[in-house]
Structure 1
Amino acid sequence: MANILLIGLGDLGSLIAREAMQQGITVYAMRRQSKSPAGVHLIQHDATAPWPILSDRIAGSAGISDLILCVAPDNRTDDAYRQAYLEIAAQAREWLRQQPQPVHLWLVSSTSVYGQQQGEWVNEDSPRLPERGTAKILVKAEDFWLQSGLPCTMLRPAGLYGPGRDMLLRVARTGQKIVETQPVYTNRIEISDCARAIVHLLLRRQQGRKTASAYNLTDLSSARYRDVIQFLQQQLDINATTEQIVQRGSKRVSARRLQQTGFNWQYPDFKTGYLSML
């Protein structure tokens, strides 16, 4: 089994590392902080600066087969996104060019690259026409890799939820009844399923299976926002007493391409995922 290099060890990155190690993969990881999951070969370094030579730190002669960029921006500003997705990309490309053998690049992007707002279904071939500045930076980062001539795959997670990621639970606890002026859809994936999906795709590639240029990482049930909040309030025994009008555009994200690879969700819809949390 080849080695992988993971840039970023936040919530999702740490889960990817643990899942990869469970599958017998040796994980090297780069981050600024000194903490890492047990078993990870940590390289403490700021990935926006030129990367150190790693050949003397990698055991055996296999080298690195896959590089995963999974860096969460420090905040939601355009500058933070440029640093996380563009500055690190420049250093990563320079490092990739120095490798003696091809390394497959995986960029953890987001379904926010799709700008559709009328409840349409989108898949990996849908136009990427985002309106927000941060999402435009993600598109720029994706194009940086897709046009690089290097082997690469864009990974586009939907909204992550799970332990420590309880935004919709907090909304439900406000006791407000959601009223939509038009259908508002929410696309989500439980965070451990997201990590499992990424390692699943990585293993398929290492086994010689065809790898697409992009995958949406979402569950099998795009749902109405009001239905999710109402379900959570029922589980929490909360009586919604005041109305909150929600008026915004949304889209429905297809997971068909991921499903066709044979991936099995532990939490195929929001109900199974949130019941596990509760």
Structure 2
Amino acid sequence: MKKTSLILGCGDVGSALARELLKAGQHVIGVRRDVSKLADLGIEALALDITAEGALASLPDADTVVHVLSADRFDEEAYRAAYVDGIRALVTELESRAKPPTRVLFVSSTSVYAQKDGEEVDEQSPTDATSFSGQLMREGEQALLDSSLNGTVVRFSGIYGPGRDMLIRQARDGRIAASNPPLYSNRIHRDDCAGVLAHLIALSLEGKPVEPIYLATDCDGAPLHEVMAWLARQLKVESTEVIQSPLRRRSSKRCGNALLLESGYTFRYPTFREGYAEVLKEHGVTVPKSELSGR
């Protein structure tokens, strides 16, 4: 009998995960308000606003539940609704069921960390975020981890991939991050986000150990200056404008993925070079193999 995975918030990452789970032979149910974009996925699509009163009770039972919702807006009210109130309501609903899921995955973010001066962080590092987004994300994490469910939090670093090309556009415009002091950045390709989640689901269904928290980031937390210089080289443009903070929130830390690698996951795009080489194809740029070898 096929295992069933329920994806709450089946957007970009959720849809990529759905494709992975379909290849693994699972029955996949994708939940979102507008299911028109799920028509070609080949999954069971459920149109539902899970923040509406009573909506969670209509969710079908599943072996695995993945919460990969995005906040409607970047403000405190929207984040609290999606990542705190939403998780608490989901936990209450699933705990009340005669057949709760064997695993609940909550997609979180490295914004829960406050480190900003190049420190190394992992799953055991302090999470003393000062931003409302990091604080509320951490509150949502704890709501799941304190429950009776088998919960796992996956903290993704900056997600890039198809359609997520802000750095490419900035590099094309001649902008580059300052080289000193180095601003360390961390990223993970959208397809590796899906791969990590599918990997953890497979481990859980096979009865293998799954940790409560994983930090999911690629294997090269490079200085942002280095990433943008590499992009400029591929785009054959000159960097003429130094900018202090190319990203929305200035932060400098080095995220480690040792625990994820120990679990057996193999990255499709282990560094920004392989990943951006794929994204650059959308811009008509072919990256030579010699540019994928690193420093």
Q: TM class, shorter-chain normalised?
A: over 0.9
Letter in 2 for 1:226: H
Counterpart Cα distance in 2 of 1:196 and 1:245: 33
Q: 2:104·2:151 contact (CA, 8 Å) conserved in 1?
A: yes
Q: 2:15·2:41 contact (CA, 8 Å) conserved in 1?
A: no
Correspondence for 1:53: 58
Q: Deviations over 1:222-271 (max 9, x none)?
A: 10000000000000001112333459541000011110111111110001
Correspondence for 2:286: none
Q: 1:180·1:245 contact (CA, 8 Å) conserved in 2?
A: no
Q: 2:69·2:82 contact (CA, 8 Å) conserved in 1?
A: yes
What runs of 5+ residues in structure 2 fail to find an aligned partner?
281-295
Letter in 1 for 2:97: Q
Higher strand share: 1
Does residue 262 (structure 1) correspond to residue 264 (structure 2)? The answer is yes
Counterpart Cα distance in 2 of 1:124 and 1:98: 30
SS for the counterpart of 1:185 is coil
Correspondence for 1:67: 65
Q: TM-score, normalised by structure 1?
A: 0.93
Q: 2:185·2:224 contact (CA, 8 Å) conserved in 1?
A: yes
Letter in 1 for 2:75: T
Letter in 1 for 2:58: I
Correspondence for 2:163: 164
Q: Deviations over 1:178-237 (max 9, x none)?
A: 324412111001100110111011101100100100111110111000000000000000
Letter in 2 for 1:157: F
Correspondence for 1:242: 241
Counterpart Cα distance in 1 of 2:176 and 2:9: 38
Distance 1:71 1:54, change over 3 A: closer
Correspondence for 1:189: 188
Q: 2:66·2:106 contact (CA, 8 Å) conserved in 1?
A: yes
Does residue 109 (structure 1) correspond to residue 108 (structure 2)? The answer is yes
Q: CA RMSD in A?
A: 1.6
Following superposition, the deviation at residue 165 of structure 1 comes to 0.4
Correspondence for 2:24: 23
Q: Deviations over 1:53-77 (max 9, x none)?
A: 345xxxxxxx511111000111211
Q: Deviations over 1:136-188 (max 9, x none)?
A: 00011011111123210001111011110001112212202432441211100
Q: Which runs of 4+ in 1 moved over 6 A?
A: none
Distance 1:208 1:33, change over 3 A: same
More deviation in 251-260 or 74-83?
74-83
Distance 1:211 1:177, change over 3 A: closer
Letter in 2 for 1:158: S
Q: How does 1:219-238 map to 2 (within 5 A)?
A: 219-238=218-237
Correspondence for 1:251: 253
Counterpart Cα distance in 1 of 2:144 and 2:176: 43
Counterpart Cα distance in 1 of 2:10 and 2:229: 34
Q: 1:181·1:246 contact (CA, 8 Å) conserved in 2?
A: no
Q: 1:5·1:27 contact (CA, 8 Å) conserved in 2?
A: yes
SS for the counterpart of 1:85 is helix
SS for the counterpart of 1:28 is strand
Does residue 142 (structure 1) correspond to residue 141 (structure 2)? The answer is yes
Counterpart Cα distance in 1 of 2:13 and 2:251: 27
Q: 1:116·1:251 contact (CA, 8 Å) conserved in 2?
A: yes
Distance 1:245 1:95, change over 3 A: closer
Correspondence for 2:87: 89
Correspondence for 1:78: 76
Counterpart Cα distance in 1 of 2:98 and 2:144: 19
Letter in 2 for 1:109: S
Q: 1:180·1:246 contact (CA, 8 Å) conserved in 2?
A: no
Letter in 2 for 1:72: S
Distance 1:245 1:38, change over 3 A: closer
Number of residues of Structure 1 aligned to a counterpart in Structure 2: 271
Q: 1:169·1:232 contact (CA, 8 Å) conserved in 2?
A: yes
Percent identity for Structure 1 against Structure 2: 34
Correspondence for 2:10: 9
SS for the counterpart of 2:58 is coil
Does residue 204 (structure 1) correspond to residue 203 (structure 2)? The answer is yes
